[in-house]
Amino acid sequence: MKTTLIIGATPRPSSYANKAMLELEEHGHKTLLYNPLGRAIDDRKIHTEIAQISEPVDTITLYVRPARLQPIVEELIALKPKRIIFNPGTEDADIMQSFKDSEIEALEACTLVMLRTGQY
pLDDT score of 70: 95
Q: Compute the distance between CA of residue 26 and CA of residue 10 in angstroms, rounded to an integer.
A: 18
Q: What is the pLDDT of residue 107?
A: 98
**Residue 79 CB coordination number (10 Å):** 17
Q: Is 57 helix (H, G, I), strand (E, B) or coil?
A: coil
Tens digit of each residue's pLDDT (9 = 90 or more) over 62-107 = 999 999 999 999 999 999 999 999 999 999 999 999 999 999 999 9
Name which of 60, 53, 55 is nearest 84 in CA terms: 60
Distance (Å, whole) CA 8 – CA 1:
22
CA-wise closest residue to 34 among 2, 6, 3, 71: 6
pLDDT band at 40 (very low <50, low <70, confident <90, very high): confident
pLDDT at 1 over 90: no
Give the domain CATH number at 59.
Answer: 3.40.50.720
Domain residues for 83?
Answer: 3-116
Q: Vertex 59, ends 51 and 54: CA angle to 5°?
A: 25
4-30, pLDDT tens digit by residue?
999 999 999 999 999 999 999 999 999
pLDDT at residue number 39: 86
Q: How many domains does the chain have?
A: 1
How many whole angstroms from its chain centre is CA 109? Answer: 12
